[in-house]
Amino acid sequence: GEPLLSIRDLRTVFHTDDGLVRAVDGVSFDVGRGETVCIVGESGSGKTVTGESITRLLRTPPGEIAGGEIVFDGRDLTTLDDETLRSLRGDRIAHVFQNPQGALNPVYTVGWQIVEAIQLHEDVTREAARERAVDLLDRVGIPEATRRFEDYPHEFSGGMKQRVAIAMALATNPDLLIADEPTTALDVTIQNQILSLLDDLQTEFDMSVLLITHDLGVVAEVADRVVVMYAGKVMERGGVFDVFERPSHPYTRALLDCLPGRGDGAASIGGRLPSPIDPPAGCRFHPRCEYAVDACREGEQPPDCAVDGDDDHVVSCVHYEPGGDPSVVRDRGSP
């Protein structure tokens, strides 16, 4: 059926003193119902801004959507007024961030805050909301939820705080949860617990998850599909199995080589992200790409090309364009 979220040619810009930053520059992908899609990329890739554009959370410096469509359940969110969009946010679309502190008010007990979130969006009695809140805390794995209901945010550890923030996000039974680096600030063992929690909740709450991360290990853990971003553009996207088994874009391959146990493990990608104000012509990755040819350095980013005729797995690279030779990229080096 129809995907829950369909982003087409999204362009988000920031007006800065140094000039116009095209943070997201023609990004397209879908999130199906009940699916977990990961956007992966380095900082500066535009992955966070993509997530923030969906509910227009764009923070400083002043950003705006300059083009494209964000169709959520049949409605183009880019055309909604701020008020309608605000009611959608926190109701049908919820966010979880790297720092759970931001989602929680230090002055109130966590239980009180979840009850408020429920009552803000639903006409239920205080008692019913309270029961739901305790149940939510229990479902996100807070031990002794009834007692902890009365605790303040500072009384929870980092991992437990993130669980509470997730309970807040789920208070309204959202259709889409956008989680931006939700585990990055946590210890490794806690990271894994939070990831498997998100995985469980995604099924339990029958929601779609858009997970934004710099960590391909996280992607392997939870994603159904993956979108690889670089310098505001999508380099490759496809089913997680296909992308990990047949990484086709040189950037994806380089990212995978940096994963422990793949390629030479400790690899890192040479060079730096291009300037977001004055990005290179042609393929944005060309200054760092070992497979670059003249055609990569002129014109626009190459179009999305199907990998092995599979329209669900596409890559933006000249070697995959009609008449090109993908084996140039594929047959050299690891993995």
For ligand SF4, give the closer residue by CB, 262 or 286: 286
Beta carbon of residue 8, minimum distance to ligand SF4 (angstroms, whole number):
22
Structure tokens at 83: 């008020």
Number of residues that bind ligand SF4 (CB under 6 A): 13
The owner of tokens 């946010």 is: 89
Q: Which stretch binds ligand SF4 (CB under 6 A): 63-71, 75-83, 104-112, 313-321?
A: 313-321
Q: Which of 302, 305, 307, 314 binds ligand SF4 (CB under 6 A)?
A: 302
Closest CA to 118 of 100, 104, 130, 105: 130
Structure tokens at 247: 């990484």
Beta carbon of residue 292, minimum distance to ligand SF4 (angstroms, whole number):
4
Residue 231, CA atoms < 13 Å, CB-side half-sphere: 20
Q: Which of 285, 304, 305, 314 binds ligand SF4 (CB under 6 A)?
A: 285
299 vs 227: CA distance, rounded Å: 23
230 is a contact residue toward ligand SF4 (CB under 6 A): no
Residues 6+ apart with CB under 8 A from 60: none
Beta carbon of residue 313, minimum distance to ligand SF4 (angstroms, whole number):
16
274 is a contact residue toward ligand SF4 (CB under 6 A): no
Q: Which of 41, 90, 250, 276 binds ligand SF4 (CB under 6 A)?
A: 250
Question: 197 and 166 in contact (C-beta within 8 Å)?
Answer: yes
231 is a contact residue toward ligand SF4 (CB under 6 A): no
Ramachandran region, residue 168 (left: φ > 0; alpha: ψ -120 to 50; beta: rest): alpha
67 vs 19: CA distance, rounded Å: 18
Does residue 269 sit in helix, strand or coil? coil
For ligand SF4, give the closer residue by CB, 149 or 285: 285
Beta carbon of residue 5, minimum distance to ligand SF4 (angstroms, whole number):
27
52 vs 127: CA distance, rounded Å: 34
123 vs 100: CA distance, rounded Å: 27
Beta carbon of residue 286, minimum distance to ligand SF4 (angstroms, whole number):
4
Which residues in the 146-165 window bind ligand SF4 by CB under 6 A? none
Question: What torsion do the CA atoms of 142, 143, 145, 146 make, to the nearest 10 degrees?
Answer: -170
Q: Which stretch binds ligand SF4 (CB under 6 A): 70-78, 170-178, 271-279, 311-319?
A: 311-319
For ligand SF4, give the closer residue by CB, 29 or 285: 285
For ligand SF4, give the closer residue by CB, 201 or 318: 318
Residues 6+ apart with CB under 8 A from 160: 142
289 is a contact residue toward ligand SF4 (CB under 6 A): yes
Closest CA to 12 of 42, 54, 72: 54
Q: Which of 27, 167, 296, 307 binds ligand SF4 (CB under 6 A)?
A: 296
For ligand SF4, give the closer residue by CB, 87 or 275: 275
Question: 258 and 274 in contact (C-beta within 8 Å)?
Answer: no
Dihedral (CA of 223, 57, 12, 8) sign: positive
For ligand SF4, give the closer residue by CB, 228 or 292: 292
Beta carbon of residue 225, minimum distance to ligand SF4 (angstroms, whole number):
20
Footprint of ligand SF4 on this chain (CB under 6 A)? Answer: 249-250, 283, 285-286, 289, 291-292, 296, 302, 317-319
